[in-house]
Structure 1
Amino acid sequence: MDIQVIVNQMIILFLVMIIGYIANKSGILDQTQNQKMSSLVLNITSPGLILSSVRAPTNGSLSSVIQIFLISIAIYMVLPIMGILLSRILKVPKEDRNLYQFMTIFSNIGFMGYPVIQSIFGDEALFFASICNLVFNLVCYSYGVYLISGSGKLSFDFKQLINPGIIFSIIAVIIYLTKYQMPQIIGETSDLIGSITTPLAMMIIGSSLAEIPIKEVLNDIRIYPYTIIKQILMPILFWWVLKFIIQDPVILGVLVILIAMPVGSIAIMFCNQFEGNTTLASKSIFITTLASVFTIPILVYLLFI
């Protein structure tokens, strides 16, 4: 793995994000269009990307799928504890502790994670990331809702899981295990649709960041140590533990890099829905997303080269 290639990929993603930022400031994009394009990515182009990741027959095994699924469950059992510890270490006000825990658990897997994983590890790694995303959704729409809603009770709505991303992830698992050869026309269609996911997702992130006043972002000192701990120290800790369990370097890399992703945009969506601290969520997304351009190449260099 060539670190220069990884750095170049992150710079390219960053430049596309800047284009989205400029498009918003120029009036080409706005918040309404961001929401519509986000729906396009989540419901159409990302499922196409997931399907294209298993287009060619592989030497897929049930044991790999089960291993990723079980380890992902274990990760999402540990992350809440780390979120609690982080909020205590940083002396987060009591009213924001649940949000800090939420942001620590639910990183930007779908929007930024998929493009970055594909750029670093290739198409098969993207399929592994989609399995992790299954667990992400299970936890997000149960424990995540509990954290932000402040309802005091843990509930789960299976309807939230009936979406194209989950459905196509399950289809991809079936194709991976059965080594099914998709018809050429279906495979090429999914390739074409999936190929626009990366540039579109990064432009949406850039456009969304343009909605946040920079002055408000830079004055929250607590976010900076939080970013270093979340996106460098935590992934290194998980890598040190997981390397004794996982033999496949690609699977190990996928899980560690997904943990290192910036705060997910779903934090804002949940705060809007349940009247949470949208300002804090926006600031955290802004800083952690920009920081990831540097932190991800550093992690790849330290851990995988």
Structure 2
Amino acid sequence: MLNIGDVFSNLVGLFLLIAVGYAAVKLQVLPVSSTKLLSNLLMQITLPATILVSLVRPYDAAFIRDGVLIAILGTVLYLLYGLLSLPACRLFHVGEGRRGAWIFSAMFSNNGFMGFPVALALFQEEGLALAVFLGIPFNLLAYTLGAKLMCMDHEAEDSSPPPSWRSILLTSVNGAILLGLVMYVAQIPIPDVLSTPLTHLSNITTPLSMLVIGMNLTEGRVGDLLRDRDVFSVSFLRLVFFPVLTWAILRLLPISNPLVVGVTLIIMAMPSPAISAILAESYHSDKEFASRSVFLSSLLCLISIPLISLLL
């Protein structure tokens, strides 16, 4: 069982970094437009380095078995969330033009920008290594099924086509996962000359991801957010209903490693993913709603995640 004090302390530390990113934009130290460059640095360089460092470890067949299990769990849970979000969308009377974005924001969690750093903070490198496996179903589903959901809101003639499988699979993050697994199975160590710079780059990932989230939050308007009931309903599903449902499902399964349960539950309790606003813009959905969902759920998870962790 996680210590609630440790969970809260780690989350407060991460959210102080978010506050730094928020203040940097508000005080005009950095322009909000720089989030694109910093996000690229994160996704193309530092996060792959973090993944590689976490996966290259002494061989343990149980780790591979747990990794495959957690990837299967992630796939099933994401699809289940999507199926349940369809009737919930009607139940909460979500308006046309944002239903796809609403379902996407409820269905997927922020596993990369926030989930990986939180998993590292709470479960150390072994927890992060397992959390990496949850990135596989996320990448495959968010950019295919997720793109289709966004297209529901506005089937315009100039809508961008769904991304190709090549663009989905050939990313730095997936490349680091594949390389790390190959090196793990073959027990190929990272050469000393590369180990130090990779470790330094890995250490940048957590503060950089939190700074980027804080910078993105500056685009939300509190007044508009408070008047948008759909943002509150999707945050309830994302932060409360689906994590509690996940906990109930995990309790029914004969999972021997408690770390698998802990990592799965915490990652699935993350707020709406930052990519939702980007996809909403690309496929002509409601970008403002998607941004508000990221904004509110990212703030409320400071309360929800410690409470969800009490279930472990």
Residue matched to 2:46: 45
User: 1:210 maps to which residue?
Assistant: 218
| Residue correspondences, number | 302
Q: Equivalent residue for 1:174?
A: 182
Listed as ranges, the matches of 1:129-144 within 5 Å are: 129-144=131-146
Distance across 2 between alignment mates of 1:178 and 1:3: 38
With 208-217 and 180-189 compared, the bigger mean Cα shift is at: 180-189
Q: Which deviates further from its counterpart, 21-30 or 207-216?
A: 207-216
Deviations 1:147-176 (A, max 9, x none): 112359x96611222110011011222233
Secondary structure of the corresponding residue to residue 33 of structure 2? helix
8 Å CA contact 2:106, 2:234 repeated in 1: no
What is residue 24 of structure 2 aligned with on the other side?
23
Q: 1:157 aligns with which of 153, 164, 181?
A: 164
Aligned position for 1:88: 90
Q: Cα–Cα, structure 1 residues 86 and 172, in superposed 2: closer, same or farther, change >3 Å?
A: farther
Amino acid at match of 1:38: S
Q: Please give the alpha-carbon distance, in whole angstroms, between the structure 1 residues aligned to 2:85 and 2:241.
A: 13
- Equivalent pair of 2:18/2:215 in contact (CA under 8 Å): yes
1:36 is matched with 37
1:284 corresponds to which residue?
293
Contact 1:90 1:226 in 2 (8 A): no
* Partner SS, residue 107 of structure 1: coil
Supply the RMSD in Å over aligned alpha carbons: 1.8
TM-aligned CA distance change 1:86 to 1:188, over 3 Å? farther
Contact 1:57/1:180 (CA < 8 Å) preserved in 2?
no
Q: Distance in 2 between matches of 1:42 and 1:68?
A: 22
Q: Residues 240-272 of structure 1, C-alpha deviation per residue, up to 9 Å, x if partnerless?
A: 112332221111111111111111111111111
After TM superposition, the structure 1 = structure 2 runs for residues 126-275 of structure 1, keeping only pairs within 5 Å, are: 126-150=128-152, 157-161=164-168, 162-245=170-253, 246-275=255-284
* In structure 2, distance between residues paired with 1:197 and 1:165: 13
Instruction: Say if 2:274 is the partner of 1:294.
Output: no
Q: Once structures 1 and 2 are overlaid, which stretch shifts more, 18-27 or 76-85? A: 76-85
Structure 1 runs (4+) greater than 4 angstroms displaced: none
Match of 2:65 in 1: 63
| Partner residue in 2 for 1:73 | 75
TM-score between the two structures when normalised by the length of structure 2: 0.91
Q: Distance in 1 between matches of 2:130 and 2:26?
A: 36
How far apart are 1:109 and its partner, in Å? 0.9
CA distance in 2, matches of 1:247, 1:156: 38
Aligned-partner SS, 1:202: helix
Question: How many Å separate the matches in 2 of 1:266 and 1:38?
Answer: 11
> Quick one: distance in 2 between partners of 1:226 and 1:140?
17
The residue identity in structure 2 corresponding to 1:296 is I
> Do 2:231 and 2:289's aligned partners in 1 also have CA atoms closer than 8 Å?
no
Q: Displacement of 1:8 after TM fit?
A: 0.5
The range that moved more, 257-266 or 47-56, is: 47-56
Cα distance in structure 2, aligned partners of 1:43 and 1:285: 22
SS of the aligned residue for 1:243 comes to helix
CA deviation string 1:128-148 (max 9, x = no partner) = 111111111111121111111
- In the alignment, the residues of structure 1 paired with residue 188 and residue 276 of structure 2 have an alpha-carbon distance, to the nearest angstrom, of 37
CA distance in 1, matches of 2:210, 2:163: 31
Give the 3-state SS of the residue equivalent to 1:255 in structure 2.
helix
Closer, same or farther: CA 60–182 of 1 in aligned 2, 3 Å: farther
Residue 185 and residue 3 in structure 1: after superposition, are their counterparts in 2 closer, same or farther (change >3 A)? farther
TM-score by length of 1: 0.93
Letter matched to residue 241 of structure 1: I
Q: Is the 8 A contact 2:89 2:99 kept in 1?
A: yes
Query: Could you tell me how far apart the structure 1 residues matched to 2:256 and 2:44 are?
Result: 33
Which structure 2 residue ranges, 5 or more long, are not aligned? none
**Identical counterparts, % of pairs:** 26
What letter corresponds to residue 221 of structure 1 in structure 2? Answer: R
Question: Matches of 1:183 and 1:244 in 2, distance apart?
Answer: 43
Which piece of structure 1 moves more, 169-178 or 120-129? 169-178
Distance in 1 of aligned mates of 2:106 and 2:185: 32
Separation in 2 of the partners of 1:86 and 1:78? 12
Checking the alignment, whether the CA contact within 8 Å between 1:60 and 1:176 is kept in structure 2 is: no
SS of 1:92's equivalent in the other structure is: coil
Q: Residues 127 and 172 of structure 1 are in contact (CA less than 8 Å); yes or no, is this contact kept in structure 2? A: no
Q: What 5-or-longer segments of structure 1 have no aligned partner?
A: none
User: What amino acid does structure 1 have at the position aligned with 2:186?
Assistant: T
